[in-house]
Structure 1
Amino acid sequence: MKGYLWGIGSMLLVTLAQLLLKWGMMYTPLISFSDINLRFLTDHSSQVTAVICGLLGYGLSMLCWFLALRYLPLNQAYPLLGISYALVYVAVVSLPWFNEPATTLKTLGAALILLGVWLIHSKANKPD
């Protein structure tokens, strides 16, 4: 059970990290690294903060992932990360500031990912 909790923590953190990175980069103007200065950072502090928090979220997600792998076999832990793909999709089509359209094909893809995770973890696949 402990391994699944760490795996779910990793999945949720990586989902949040993706959303923060996407939001931060959507609203940050494209410039070269040499143009980054204190004024740029203060003018775009919320976007920079979102990107930094997204990167920290990835780091924490990796820590949770390492702990999940300590308690779970890889073939049980890895499919949990697939859920994050579906969660990110649902979030970006649901939250208005991302302004991404839902399509039948993308929704079907997310549903197939969830079906695959369910099939891997279903009782029918577990040996007696």
Structure 2
Amino acid sequence: MTAALLRFVDRRITRYLLASVGALAVDVGSFLALLSLGVWAAGASAIGYSLGIVAHWLMSSRAVFIGNVAERGAGRTRQKALFVISALIGLGLTTGIVWAGDVSGFDPRLAKLVAIAVSFTVTWLVRSRVVFR
């Protein structure tokens, strides 16, 4: 069982899922806290997602894409820029979906769940095929 668990954790997509869960905890925790303070749903979503971006970079660059992180210098700066671009794509999707759900009368927490699924899929594709290739 231990060997199977180690193989499971060693898979890149599994590590990405685990890093995403950590970043998601930061994102959603912040989002819900801000909603409870009366912050506009789309703004709360954007702030939470932004905090999750920082957490995700730290986990992705240190635990997910090991061996694919560029060395210091221009290569690393380019990689960070591409990561930020992928994060901004996810941020735009998340904020837009939560905004659309909110103005359509849906519970912003449900809209956030849809946004999480869409953003996860898109950012995984961009990061695995462009940022950390």
- Please confirm whether the aligned pair reaches a TM-score higher than 0.5, indicating the same fold: no
With normalisation by structure 1, the TM-score equals 0.36
TM-score (norm 2): 0.35
Larger RCO (CA under 8 A, 6+ residues apart):
1
